[in-house]
Structure 1
Amino acid sequence: MSKLTLGSYPHMLGFEQLERLLERTAKGGNEGYPPFNIEQTSDFSYRITLAVAGFAEDDLSITVEDKQLVVRGRQSEDIAERVFLHRGIAARQFQRSFVLADGVEVGEATMENGLLHVDLTRSKPETIVQTIQIKKG
């Protein structure tokens, strides 16, 4: 059985980069932590909310790398001095990646009650009609 790719469809021209993004996302290390929500806040805006209890703003980084929004968390090492009788709150590092479509821009990020909110906006696509002249050969 052969693997179907976007290149297998003759009417799908120029989508090779999309296929690479999908493969990279499928292999990504998003293991379910931290949990997150994605909501549509208007026709052209979204909000990603990650549950990052126990992380301070300085423990988090948000970057855009090759059309991916990457959120990383690493808590400081001051925990070594503390003695836990029970440890039920995760203190592990994480990396969450979200693929961004063309025209999606990352806005502001805010921290509120252990939740990290990242706002995204998508530019309204222009309708372009182009007429191609046919030359006699």
Structure 2
Amino acid sequence: MRTTFDLSPLYRSTIGFDRLFDMLDQVSRVEPMTNWPPYNIEKTGEDEYRISMAVAGFTRDEIELVQQESTLTVTGQKRAEPEGVQVLHRGIATRAFKQSFSLADHVKVTGADLDNGLLTIALKREVPEELKPRRIEIATGSAAKALAQDNQPPQIGHGSQAKEAA
């Protein structure tokens, strides 16, 4: 039995979580066979990831990878059987598929490879320098006083004080 949840009260009481609630809403409507083809998601380094999909029977020309903003879509469409071929038993699935992956900010596809029926997609998070945290030094003691003195406006003297300063 499948239970559905009404998320509309959450939309009214939160700001900026639209995408999260859309994803939750989408998950509740998932068709039972959308987990095909089987896949693994692996973390291979600090900011590196890999998706491995079992796509036996598909060629490079029958698979399409598209990254649009924060969504990676993998689509597979088998071509028609050649004329004169009669399949007596079909154990390798040839049905079309479409699998979407939501990517975090700044995650980009860096490569894809199809080898022995396994599609491997390499991903990497590349955060721009201006968005990376930076350490700010805190001055202490005489360095702080020197910094404070450097930030003071120049003093303008009057009368004899100005002559002595010159």
Please give the TM-score of this superposition, normalised by the length of structure 2.
Answer: 0.65
Higher relative contact order (CA 8 A, sep 6+): 1
Please identify which structure carries the higher strand content: 1
* Contact 1:21-1:99 at 8 Å conserved across structures: no
Q: Deviations over 1:102-130 (max 9, x none)?
A: 1111110011111000011112562279x
Q: 115, 118, 127: which is aligned to 1:115? A: 118
Q: Secondary structure at the match of 1:14?
A: coil
**Using the alignment, how far apart are the partners of 1:119 and 1:40 within structure 2?**
10
**Using the alignment, how far apart are the partners of 1:44 and 1:77 within structure 2?**
40
Q: Secondary structure at the match of 1:117?
A: strand
In structure 2, the partner of 1:81 is 84
Q: Secondary structure at the match of 2:44?
A: strand
Q: Percent identity among equivalent residues?
A: 36
**Using the alignment, how far apart are the partners of 1:26 and 1:69 within structure 2?**
20
Amino acid of the structure 2 residue aligned with 1:8:
S
- Is 2:56 aligned against 1:56? no
Residue 60 of structure 1: CA displacement? 0.3
Residue 18 of structure 1: CA displacement? 3.4
**Using the alignment, how far apart are the partners of 1:106 and 1:25 within structure 2?**
24
Q: 84, 93, 96: which is aligned to 1:93? A: 96
Q: Secondary structure at the match of 1:78?
A: coil
Superposed CA RMSD in Å reads 2.7
Please give the TM-score of this superposition, normalised by the length of structure 1.
Answer: 0.77
In structure 2, the partner of 1:16 is 18
* Contact 1:28-1:97 at 8 Å conserved across structures: no
Please identify which structure carries the higher helix content: 2
* Matched residue count: 126
Gap regions ≥5 residues in structure 1: 130-137
Gap regions ≥5 residues in structure 2: 136-166
